[in-house]
Chains A and B, each alone.
Chain A
Amino acid sequence: MDTLLEPLQFEFFRHGLLAALMVGGLCGLIGVYIVLKGMSYIGHGLSHAAFGGAVVGFTFKLNFYVGAAVVGLIAALLINQITRGGKIKSDAAIGIVTTACFALGVAIISRLRHFTQSFEAALFGNILGVDNSDLLVIGSVTGATVVVMFLTYRAMLFTTFDLDAAKVFGIKTGRMQLVFACILTMAIIASMNIVGVTMIAATLVVPAVTARLLTNSFSRMLILSTCLGATIGVAGMYLSYYFNAASGATIVLFGACVFIIVSAINYIKERFILREQTHRHGHLVHTHRAGPGHTRDSHAHEHDHEHHASEDASERGGTT
């Protein structure tokens, strides 16, 4: 118990812990949509774009968050627009747009000799330097994101799963994409000073892919990923305190360890189930769990007799 309570006597740690909890949960929640859309690097790209925006904002004597938000949002909308035609895929669009925004920031820093602002916190994260205003921003973005995701859950799920069909069924997919782009940009900007531009992709992706390994249900994946993100954030903070290591990096490393452990358990479990089935049927048949990389073709080969009984029963039930 003392291990948990001892660091809490320091205000910087209490602030950092609260920030890690909120940022972890927020990124875990949004990460589910990012991973399932196949845009895992959007976080990495948008944080770079927002960094460029923050530098541009500084030259116009604007608040850090204002410059980052404006450029980040423009970048997110541009990526959306470029990929809409179908000719250019999201990874290429992310590469072009966000790197250009980042390059703009770097060019401004190199051009203005009197540039004094330190952007180290934004680049590498400074969770221990979090103050009340940062907490307010993170808290507001987290609260707003939870409310919006709750109210748009159905439309967002359909749009993420099958964009074309969702449009045909009458879902306002364009509006949903716009809402998601805004939420994502806000979340990245709120998290940037905490985990840093260079680490943010991991905080978005790791909880979501770990949750995906644990469940086949979308709603459960959302809850699991949010809880995992928050837990990894809090545990990472304690580890960084006791190992005296950089907080952002420790959170990311701990997340990666959790992913490796869950992957290993999953692999052993699948091998065990496979062995059980081989033992029961006398030959290799199927590895049935759906997961990333599981294709329909492989499924067609693996399929059969486990479901034949239910299929046959349903056919006999008469469907015509």
Chain B
Amino acid sequence: MPASAIEIRNITTGYNTSVVLDKLSLDIGVGQFAGIVGPTGSGKTTLLKTMLGAQPVYGGEIRLFGQPIQRLPAGSIGYVPQLESVDWSFPVTVEQVILMGLYATDRRLLPWASKQEKAKVHDLALRLGIHDCLHHHIIDISGGQQQRAFLGRALISNPKLLILDEPTAGVDIKTQHDVLHLLGALNREGITIVLTTHDLNAVASHLPWVICFNQGLIAQGRPREIFTERNLSDTYGGDIVIIRHGEHLLIANNTPLKL
């Protein structure tokens, strides 16, 4: 079994003529639970897209579990997009959203779900705590349930790698805590998890590994070691204060508001 879930070697990528990531190298170990933090426009989403194989690469190489992305069997990667990017008026129920995660792996040609598929969805929904709303339209449920519905779609094919784009954005602090807690439990079952977030405090309290990123790798390691004024200042470019209280870190922006 390879030691790295994600191996990025000298990757250069971008959009049309502009290069966003230039000769980036990064390793994320198997079984890791890593959070990528960085300012808006730092290339976090581009990095995620590169890991997913959804970004044209101009140079370099990327391997997932020791293999090129194209050779990975369908369903090996679970992906949860930003909830902001979802078309909430689209007529689908929670059950239909979760079932989509099976469409690439199951070669079933009939449109309707089989009994086995429905049972699989029900079991997963039960575990995620959304079994009560399987037949609800996706907009008729709370933000936390919506996040879990899309997490269900990513998990239904039993992926080895789970990639989430800002799973804590737009939800309240309780839901944020629940989502990260759930991801922690999934990680303990052996799923490698990579997510992007703007919430440094959530990373500090829930994630074992952090990657500070701004057009390139600034630092990576355990949050207690990596979240230093220097690293965060290099990442965000501002004056950031870190308050340490026992095992806990509290990160705040020290730039005064100009009123």
User: Which A residues form the contact surface with B (CB < 8 A)?
Assistant: 36, 85, 87, 150-151, 153-155, 157-158, 160-162, 164-171, 212, 215-221, 288, 290-296, 299-300, 303-304, 307-308, 310-311, 313-315, 317-320
A87 to B184, CA, bound (A): 38
Contact status A296-B79, CB under 8 Å = no
Contact status A314-B129, CB under 8 Å = yes
Contacts A155-B103, A218-B96 given; indicate if A290 touches B140 (C-beta within 8 A): yes
Contacts A154-B111, A162-B86, A216-B93 given; indicate if A319 touches B145 (C-beta within 8 A): no
Contact status B91-A212, CB under 8 Å = yes
Total contacts A to B, CB within 8 angstroms? Answer: 140
Which of A165, A218, A304 counts the most B-chain CB atoms under 10 A from its CB?
Answer: A165
Which B residues, 61 to 102, have Cβ-Cβ distances below 8 Å to chain A? 74-75, 77, 79, 81, 83-93, 96, 100-101
Check: B137 CB closer than 8 A to any chain A CB.
Answer: yes
Contact status B140-A311, CB under 8 Å = no
Contact status B185-A169, CB under 8 Å = no
A206 to B93, CA, bound (A): 23
Check: B104 CB closer than 8 A to any chain A CB.
Answer: yes
Check: B14 CB closer than 8 A to any chain A CB.
Answer: no
User: 6 A-B Cβ contacts within 8 A?
Assistant: A160-B90, A168-B53, A170-B75, A290-B91, A308-B142, A319-B185
Contact status A303-B142, CB under 8 Å = yes
Chain A nearest CB, measured from B49 CB (Å): 8
Chain A nearest CB, measured from B144 CB (Å): 7
Residues of B within 8 A of A168 (CB): 52-54, 77, 79
A46 to B12, CA, bound (A): 39
Residues of B within 8 A of A218 (CB): 90-92, 96
Question: Which residue of B83, B100, B105 is within 8 Å of A157 (Cβ)?
Answer: B100
The residue on B at minimum CB distance from A318 is B129
A212 to B91, CA, bound (A): 8
Check: B239 CB closer than 8 A to any chain A CB.
Answer: no
Contacts A164-B54, A165-B81, A212-B91 given; indicate if A310 touches B133 (C-beta within 8 A): yes
Contacts A171-B104, A288-B140, A299-B88 given; indicate if A314 touches B74 (C-beta within 8 A): no
Task: Give chain A's interface secondary structure class.
Answer: helix
Chain B nearest CB, measured from A207 CB (Å): 14
Contact status B89-A314, CB under 8 Å = no
A218 to B84, CA, bound (A): 21
A153 to B148, CA, bound (A): 24
Chain A nearest CB, measured from B120 CB (Å): 15
Which of A161, A166, A168, A318 counts the most B-chain CB atoms under 10 A from its CB?
Answer: A168
Which B residues, 107 to 153, have Cβ-Cβ distances below 8 Å to chain A? 108-109, 111-112, 127-133, 137-145, 148, 153
A187 to B101, CA, bound (A): 30
Contact status B132-A313, CB under 8 Å = yes
Q: Mark B192-212, 1 if CB is under 8 A from A, else 0.
A: 000000000000000000000
A185 to B6, CA, bound (A): 42
A36 to B143, CA, bound (A): 23
A153 to B112, CA, bound (A): 9
Contacts A155-B103, A170-B104, A319-B128 given; indicate if A296 touches B83 (C-beta within 8 A): yes
Which of A166, A212, A290 counts the most B-chain CB atoms under 10 A from its CB?
Answer: A290
Residues of B within 8 A of A162 (CB): 81, 86-87, 100
Question: Which residue of A221, A313, A315 is within 8 Å of B91 (Cβ)?
Answer: A221
Residues of A within 8 A of B77 (CB): 168-169
Chain A nearest CB, measured from B86 CB (Å): 7
The residue on A at minimum CB distance from B95 is A217
Contacts A154-B103, A314-B129 given; indicate if A320 touches B181 (C-beta within 8 A): yes
Check: B16 CB closer than 8 A to any chain A CB.
Answer: yes
The residue on A at minimum CB distance from B137 is A216
Residues of A within 8 A of B16 (CB): 85, 87
